[in-house]
Chains A and B, each alone.
Chain A
Amino acid sequence: MSPTDSVPLIQVKNLKKYFRTPKGPLHAVDDVTFMIKEGRTLGVVGESGCGKSTLGRTILRLLEATSGELIYRGEDLLKYNKHQMKEMRKRMQIIFQDPYASLNPRMTVSEIIAELIKVCKTLTDKHAIQEKVRDLMDTVGLAQRFVNTYPHEPDGGRRQRIGVARALATDPEFIVCDEPVSALDVSIQAQILNLMMDLQEERKLTYMFITHDLSVVKHISDDIAVMYLGQCVEKAPSRELFRNPKHPYTQALLDAIPLPSLREEDKLKKVIKGEVTSPINPKPGCRFAARCPYAAPECTAQNIPLRDQGDGHCVACVRYPA
């Protein structure tokens, strides 16, 4: 769907985000490296607490990174000052998970969509702004009659359309989508996913799509990164990851999805035991070792880097040496 020779829009190198807690540093994002090519979608999957939302926010500098590099079209965003960053925000936007909580209840739909245009001063003429708001509402399929309503009036699906329209207001190139469809019913979810894919094609958008829903991520992503406790454990083109998952955690994650089918081969497979451990002061080595059916002493002896297995399929597991 997108040209293979496209250039990387954003490169993330050894990005770390630690939070200080009374018990020690919490490694929310720990040494994550990846890049997203222009016009493509990177899916980030993982369970609650694996650092996927923190990663998204750190990339937009809504949270300050602890260390690492964030190269956007060849320039390191982490070196930008406040003023430069404000300029950048026109080009990088975010859609949040919960359309109930992420829209100001005291602003009308048109005020919400126009706010960013006014802040970034991409348009200054009042009529031009109104025109733009109407255009955006058409683009995302919101009827004009909602223009002066407050966000609690429309239902969840329409509310998320407001969130999408707001993100598009400054014509960005890159959008972080943080679980944009998780709070919606399946039939509405499908409508929003279709809308987002149409917008990507029309506007050549680049997405970083954060979700815990594997069927959604497979549907929308070109490449997928699987995260576990702050680290990226596997990274591969979407189709390859689902056909040939290598990391034991990815395998367990795929095996745990209940499929809407009665066939014997689609039955729930063996279930992994245990739960996610604490990300505060983690021990060296593979963080999945405690739950891994293949755990060996060398797993916890040292940190295991992400190693390329060919064709862009990278995995961090001792069973797959470089």
Chain B
Amino acid sequence: MEIKDLHVKYKTDEAEVFAVNGLDLTVREGETLGLVGETGAGKTTTALSILRLLPSKVGEITQGSIRLDGKELTKASEPEMRRIRGADVSMIFQDPMTSLNPVIRVGDQIAEVLELHSKKTSRAEIDKRVDEILKMVGISKDRKHDFPHQFSGGMKQRVVIAIGLACKPRLLLADEPTTALDVTIQAQVLEMMKELKEKLNTAMILITHDLGVVAQTCDRVAIMYAGRIIEIGMAKDIFEGKNHHPYTVGLFGSIPDLTRETRRLNPIPGMMPDPTEKITGCAFADRCQFCTDRCRQQEPEEYWEGSHMIRCGRFGQGKEAEA
């Protein structure tokens, strides 16, 4: 899948909100890409744009293209999109408590996706497949006639994952799939997702704010800030590389380190810029200790170092110009 120069804007009565501003992203077959950023960075908006599920009349893709296996999704018709959702691209939402229908038995909720997308039509075949899928996510098939409220949070998220993977999609968008779960349950769910992804060869975009989860599951990592990707690279580049965007450094400085003793954290001062204003120059400039006049005037170029990209004026051409 390939996203090029994506811009998304929300229109409200009071103001226009520029949620995504020129985002480029490629996901290769079978890989797990971590999309990291804080609240309001535009992570979820990006995922919703891929599925074309932005709230109608409010959210709008204003520019750019999203291609899945060469097919342009921004121009696809609604019936086409319906075929794609669930079958080729599916999404897991953060909160398993609200993403399941409370009045439909879980087995029927899984069967619904299969009925819509698979060629299998007989009830018996679908039933058999539901049992297989439940087994795959580690739920006994005796429980398929239960309602969502009879499951615990971790089990519910397993059901949601089962629905997401029922049609063996090419791409899975997982929006904070484990944030609502306890750590021991989170570890169980992460392990299961990793196994299933390998088995089905599904590519995954894992949206999260937890750098720990990213380190344990992702092949590549993209860091998002104010609707742009400011750093992307293989997990090795991000976690062990030498050069980083100042925001990435701040993000790492904010997490208390379990392996070391520190009395004070080094958070980033200030807050994310107001998304209702169009930003000229680097979006991070106001919070950056290395900010120069150049940063405020023009948006920094991408600086590539092998598989590692940093969008910061301190690297690449900017650096040479300064010297």
Contacts and interface: CB of A to CB of B under 8 A. Distances in A.
A194 B264 contact: yes
A214 interface: yes
Nearest to A258: B212
A193 B271 contact: no
B242 to A, nearest CB: 15
A194 B187 contact: no
A252 interface: yes
B254 A189 contact: yes
A122 to B, nearest CB: 31
A267 B216 CA distance: 7
A255 B257 CA distance: 15
Interface string A186-210: 1111110110010000000000000
Given A187-B254, A197-B263, A268-B216, A262 B239 contact: yes
A271 B265 contact: no
B215 A260 contact: yes
A215 B191 contact: no
Interface in B253-293: 253-259, 261-268, 271
A186 B214 CA distance: 14
A190 B257 contact: no
B251 A186 contact: yes
Contact of B254 (A190, A267, A271): A190
A272 to B, nearest CB: 6
A48 interface: yes
A119 interface: no
Contact of A186 (B38, B155, B190): B38
A134 interface: no
Contact of B262 (A186, A216, A219, A262): A219
Nearest to A265: B259
Given A186-B254, A190-B254, A275-B152, A155 B212 contact: no
Interface size class of A (residues with CB under 8 A): 35 or more
Nearest to A215: B256
Nearest to A216: B256
Interface string B278-310: 000000000000000000000000000000000
Contacts of A258: 186-187, 190, 210, 212-213, 215-217
A256 interface: yes
Given A262-B239, A268-B190, A187 B251 contact: yes
Contacts of B266: 190
Given A187-B250, A187-B251, A260 B212 contact: yes
A260 B36 CA distance: 12
B67 interface: no
A262 B258 CA distance: 14
Contact of B215 (A187, A189, A252, A262): A262
Interface in A238-257: 239, 242, 252-253, 255-257
A21 interface: no
Contacts of A48: 153, 182
Given A186-B254, A187-B267, A262-B215, A256 B152 contact: no
Top 9 A-B pairs, shortest CB-CB distance:
A190-B267, A258-B212, A219-B256, A47-B182, A260-B211, A190-B254, A256-B187, A190-B265, A185-B38
7 contacts: A47-B184, A187-B250, A187-B268, A189-B267, A212-B182, A260-B212, A275-B154
Interface of A: 1, 47-48, 155-157, 185-191, 193-194, 197, 212, 214-216, 218-219, 239, 242, 252-253, 255-262, 266-268, 271-273, 275-276
